[in-house]
Amino acid sequence: MSLSVGDRAPEFSLPDQDKQVVSLADLRGTPVLVVFYPFAFSGICTGELCQLRDELTTYTDAGVKVLAISTDPVFSLKAYKEKEGFEFPLLSDFWPHGATAQAYGVFNEKAGMALRGTFLVDAEGTIAFAEVNAPGDAREQSGWKDAVAQLGEAA
């Protein structure tokens, strides 16, 4: 069961592509867009993350930190970030395998991967937007932008 708007966002501390640990708790006071995706280098995921890269100022200009999470190891994420020029951290939920995706209710245990879950966590750590897409179902990112805009209006 995935999380819903109003739920407390589960805390996590995960290594990024450079093995630097990123903790949600350390970002308290800042809204965070948490984007789970199945696999680095896969077609739909690359399309989604490249769109996020190309439209990153929509989020950063609103003061939102973007974090992308998959169950890939850090070495794959480093190569992926370098190849695609991503300017946001790619976090590895590799071990314990998928533990953060499980906490957010977006882990596909049979496939050993995260589903396409997107969560906007407000500055206080509460889920302000939640969406989970089925495998193979690319996300429409306009909902994320609307949620960011509403977060700004509420501030």
Which among 47, 51, 101 has a CA at the least distance from the CA of 71?
101
Instruction: Give residue 24's identity as a one-letter amino acid code.
Output: L
Positive/negative CA dihedral, 110, 113, 114, 115: negative
Residue 45 annotated in active site: yes
Catalytic position from the list 45, 77, 91, 121: 45
Quickly count: other Cβ atoms within 10 Å of residue 75's Cβ. Answer: 12
**Separation of alpha carbons 100 and 37, rounded Å:** 12
Annotated catalytic residues are 45
